[in-house]
């Protein structure tokens, strides 16, 4: 029997999976939402899929990252699980308020599991982001030291970190400690400490944003406003002001940005507004749905604005 040529194999794979090797159709945000399964790439293929951009994949982050080719993205901005929720237990809750408490099971790991999981996704992320590309990772005191230690062990260059300070953070109900009102962002340049160079930092733009003074790494920005939650609630949704500032600081128009824990799509929305190409990965269908509705609404409003001017 004559074996199939590479071209025949490619055609039959495309037929089975619906994916063109090397590229996928951008998400049409005008269409009703349909979850996008992660692309299927055979293990022996060295180069994976390169999404054109503007695509939200519903699936596991490590598996989906594994299907992308090396050096696919200019930048990553991501907000992994914080490991705040307690396995099998409900978190503390405010009886008479709408404060959001973390008791999500996607956020509950043992310490060992969390370290293994972090090392797995971070090393895949480093493979798919270009050399010297920026990687911004959110965290709180619960997980940021673990992530920082793993990045240090991987000999990644930590450029800086940013403190996002929330002037309207929710009060502490135990009254046994300071009110937690900050989150951190670790800024990594995707290279070793010795070789890291020429990472993107839009210094002038940041300076202008800060009224002509150098931008500091202490950003006082209120928690996500209600108007950004009209399409559904995500317990750790980030405000667009924070996401937009990161996008403006660490990427250029047209750059391809990945968020491998996309949640309600805040990174994707900030990129869409600022003309960066975006790719998101999120496991939960309900969160994908919120992200899609936010993007859809954003584009509808932009279209309206265009026709009215």
Ligand X SMILES: C[S@@+](CC[C@H](N)C(=O)[O-])C[C@H]1O[C@@H](n2cnc3c(N)ncnc32)[C@H](O)[C@@H]1O
Using CB under 6 A, list all residues that contact ligand X: 60-61, 79, 81, 106, 234, 236-238, 261, 263-264, 266, 281-284, 287
Q: How far is the CB of 149 from ligand X (least distance, A)?
A: 19
* Alpha-carbon span 151 to 188, nearest angstrom: 8
Q: Cβ closer to ligand X: 196 or 270?
A: 270
* Alpha-carbon span 19 to 41, nearest angstrom: 10
Q: How far is the CB of 78 from ligand X (least distance, A)?
A: 8
Q: Cβ closer to ligand X: 22 or 225?
A: 225
Q: Cβ closer to ligand X: 191 or 224?
A: 224
Q: How far is the CB of 56 from ligand X (least distance, A)?
A: 11
Q: How far is the CB of 282 from ligand X (least distance, A)?
A: 5
Question: How far is CA 222 from each of CA 6, 122, 226, 230, rounded to the nearest angstrom?
Answer: 54, 29, 11, 17
Residue 2 contacts residue 31 (beta carbons within 8 Å): no
What does 243-292 look like in DSSP terms, one character per residue?
HHHHHHHH--TT-EEEESS-TTTHHHHHHHHTT-EEEEEES-HHHHHHHH
Q: Cβ closer to ligand X: 13 or 298?
A: 298
* Alpha-carbon span 86 to 28, nearest angstrom: 38
Q: How far is the CB of 263 from ligand X (least distance, A)?
A: 3
Residue nearest to ligand X (CB): 263
Q: Cβ closer to ligand X: 145 or 203?
A: 145
């Amino acid at each position: 029997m004559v074996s199939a040529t590479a071209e025949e194999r490619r055609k039959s794979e495309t037929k089975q999976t619906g994916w063109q090797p090397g590229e996928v159709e951008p998400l049409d945000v005008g269409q009703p939402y349909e979850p996008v399964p992660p692309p299927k790439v055979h293990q022996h293929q060295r180069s994976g899929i390169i999404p054109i951009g503007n695509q939200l994949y519903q699936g596991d982050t490590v598996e989906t990252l594994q299907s992308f080719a090396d050096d696919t993205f200019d930048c990553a901005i991501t907000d992994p699980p914080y490991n705040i929720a307690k396995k099998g237990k409900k978190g503390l809750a405010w009886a008479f308020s709408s404060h959001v408490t973390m008791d999500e099971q996607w956020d509950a790991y043992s310490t060992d599991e969390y370290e293994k999981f972090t090392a797995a996704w971070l090393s895949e992320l480093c493979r798919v982001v270009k050399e010297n590309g920026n990687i911004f990772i959110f965290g709180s005191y619960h997980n940021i030291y673990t992530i920082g230690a793993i990045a240090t062990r991987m000999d990644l260059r930590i450029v800086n970190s940013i403190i996002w300070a929330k002037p309207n953070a929710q009060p502490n109900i135990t009254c046994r400690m300071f009110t937690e009102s900050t989150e951190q962002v670790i800024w990594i340049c995707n290279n070793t400490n010795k070789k890291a160079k020429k990472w993107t930092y839009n210094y002038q733009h940041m300076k202008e944003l800060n009224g002509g003074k150098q931008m500091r790494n202490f950003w006082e920005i209120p928690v996500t406003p209600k108007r950004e939650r009209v399409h559904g609630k995500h317990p750790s949704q980030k405000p667009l002001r924070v996401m937009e500032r990161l996008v403006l600081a660490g990427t250029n128009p047209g750059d391809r940005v990945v968020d491998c824990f996309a949640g309600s799509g805040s990174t994707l929305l900030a990129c869409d507004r600022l003309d960066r190409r975006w790719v998101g990965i999120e496991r939960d269908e309900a969160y994908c749905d919120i992200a899609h509705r936010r993007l859809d609404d954003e584009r509808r409003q932009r279209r309206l604005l265009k026709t009215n001017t």
